[in-house]
Amino acid sequence: MELLLAFAVTLVIAVLVSGLAEQTVLSVAVLFLVSGFLLGIGSFGSIHELDPHLLQRIAELALYSVLFTDGMKTGGIHQVGSFWRLPSRALLIGMPLTIGGIAVLAHYMAGLDWARGFLLGAALSPTDPVFVAAIFRFEAVPDRVKRLLNIESGLNDGLALPPVMLLLAYTGVRGVGLARTIEELALGIAIGFAVPWICIRLEKTRLFRASGLFHPLNAFALGLLVLAACYLTGANLFLAAFGAGISVATFGPSFTESFREFGQLVTELLKLAALLLFGAVIAPRFFTPLPGVQYVFIALAVFAVRPLVIWLSLLGSQLTRQESLLAGWFGPKGFASVIYGLLIYEGGLPHMGHLIGLAVAASIVVYSSSDILIGRWFQRRVAGEESPLNRSGTESKPQP
């Protein structure tokens, strides 16, 4: 009951301050994270120890919902194919460099051996733009940067899974073999694309047709069916979710439009619930002191590695320097890192779980508080370029 009370109170507060949050650096995500901390330390009353498995399941559902809706936002497989070059650089060059950069810092600053260092790097490599959603509302931010962030984040959650699982196995914690991991990834992609395609083809026949209130529920039902199939078969949830979203956008664009508002509401509620639970679970250990160098490691791992490697990955692309820096900066750690952190924590590595919890919390606070500021900077920059002042600073006069 205390958990329900905490969520209800925080949700009411979030609704009341949502208008203010849109205009300032106040973040609703941070509000739920702080509420989770208060729940974890008993501010909402004495609670029993929270089950980490509950957080893992809620976080999985939230991430699944985010990736499913993100897949639909891509516009379909043709849009993804036409815009593959930039995301491929971020994924094939930037992601391995991110894992390696964090591993080096973890080895020399956090005292981890190389295997655990790479495990930590893999767990912190996925990005989650849901915490910087405000940046996508600014028309001044170029569409190619938005697409890059959207497609990259949709794929890197699932692509981080193989190294995480293999390194868990290598370090003796837990994990599955390479063959099984590849099977899960391939099965996730297949289920994600095939299930919506089959169902949408059926809906377009003479015998079947979605209408009325059931039209927006079509995409929801497809997502739910893909989720159930993944749990039943052990397929990769995250690649299946993103693939299903792309499949719906490709073969049933009308369902994408009708589902948009409903899907955003479901995703937002799951995301906020996961944040509150995450804060509650890590609260007891969150304030356990660490050596100062490990706090420096967290700051560098979260806020320095990605901007550098993404900038290197995008050298020679059509992006401007400002756009490359923007894409590099907005790489917040989110639900995927929470899930991988829980696997590491439950596998008998609580210190690494503590580091991941601190990194995710710091990432959420800083990134979700800077998206408005940077979006407004881009807006002012575009407005300045469109100003009637010429380069010499004088107003251009119309010719007679």
Q: What is the pLDDT of residues 33-73, one digit of tens each?
A: 888 888 877 766 555 566 667 777 887 888 788 788 878 87
Higher pLDDT, 392 or 110: 110
Residue 368 has what pLDDT? 77
Residue 303: per-residue pLDDT: 93
Q: What is the mean pLDDT of residues 150-175?
A: 79
Question: What's residue 393's pLDDT?
Answer: 46
Give the residue-averaged pLDDT of 191-202: 91
Which range (76-85, 112-121, 157-166, 336-345) has the least confidence?
76-85
In sequence order, the 6+-apart residues with CB closer than 8 A to the CB of 395 are: 388, 389
Looking at residue 51, its pLDDT comes to: 66
pLDDT number for residue 389: 45
Report which of 90, 223, 214 is spatially closest to residue 148, judged by C-alpha positions.
90
pLDDT at res. 130:
66
Q: Please give the mean pLDDT across all residues of the chain.
A: 81
Q: What is the mean pLDDT of residues 179-186?
A: 81
Please return the burial class of 208, using the count of CB atoms within 10 Å of its CB with bins 0-12, 13-18 and 19+. exposed
3 state SS for the chain: CHHHHHHHHHHHHHHHHHHHHHHCCCCHHHHHHHHHHHHHCCCCCCCCCCCHHHHHHHHHHHHHHHHHHHHHHCCCHHHHHHCCHHHHHHHHHHHHHHHHHHHHHHHHHCCCCHHHHHHHHHHCCCCCHHHHHHHHHCCCCCHHHHHHHHHHHHHHHHHCHHHHHHHHHHCCCCCCCHHHHHHHHHHHHHHHHHHHHHHHHHHCCCCCCCCCCHHHHHHHHHHHHHHHHHHHHCCCHHHHHHHHHHHHHHHCHHHHHHHHHHHHHHHHHHHHHHHHHHHHHHHHHHCCCCCHHHHHHHHHHHHCHHHHHHHHHCCCCCCCHHHHHHHHHCCCCCHHHHHHHHHHHHCCCHHHHHHHHHHHHHHHHHHHHHHHHHHHHHHHHHHHHCCCECCCCCECCCCC
Going by C-alpha positions, the residue among 264, 226, 266 that lies closest to residue 242 is: 226
Record the tokens describing residue 55, joined without a space: 């957080």
| Full-model pTM | 0.78
- Band of residue 142 on the pLDDT scale cut at 50, 70, 90: confident
- Per-residue pLDDT reduced to its tens digit, 291-338: 999 999 999 999 999 999 999 999 888 888 888 888 888 888 877 888
Q: Is residue 399 scored above 70 in pLDDT?
A: no
Mean pLDDT on 213-220 = 76
pLDDT for 390: 44
Name the most confidently modeled range: 130-134, 144-148, 275-279: 144-148
Contact of 140 with 322, CB cutoff 8 Å: no
**Domain-by-domain residue ranges, the chain?**
2-18+27-379
| C-alpha closest to that of 227 among 210, 217, 239, 215 | 239
- In the chain, % of residues over pLDDT 90: 20
What radius of gyration, in Å, describes the C-alpha atoms of the chain?
22
pLDDT for 256 beyond 90: no
Amino acid at 93: I
Which of 354, 368, 329, 372 lies closest to 138, judged by CA?
372
CA pair distance 98, 121, nearest whole angstrom: 7
How many Å apart are CA 307 and CA 157, to the nearest integer? 18
Provide the b/e sequence for 18-49 (b: ≥16 CB within 10 Å): eeebeeeeebbbbbbbbbbbbbbeeebeebee
d(CA 388, CA 394): 9
Nearest to 309 by CA among 85, 87, 97: 97
State residue 43's pLDDT score. Answer: 64
pLDDT confidence of residue 398: 42
CATH number for domain 2-18+27-379, candidates 1.10.1060.10, 1.20.1530.20, 1.10.20.10, 1.20.1260.10: 1.20.1530.20
Look at the block and give the residue holding tokens 């599955």. 176
In Å, how far from its chain's centre is CA 364?
11
pLDDT at 212: 65
Distance of CA 147 to the CA centre of its chain: 14
Per-residue pLDDT band for 82 (boundaries 50, 70, 90) equals: low
**Predicted confidence band of residue 176 (pLDDT cuts 50, 70, 90):** low
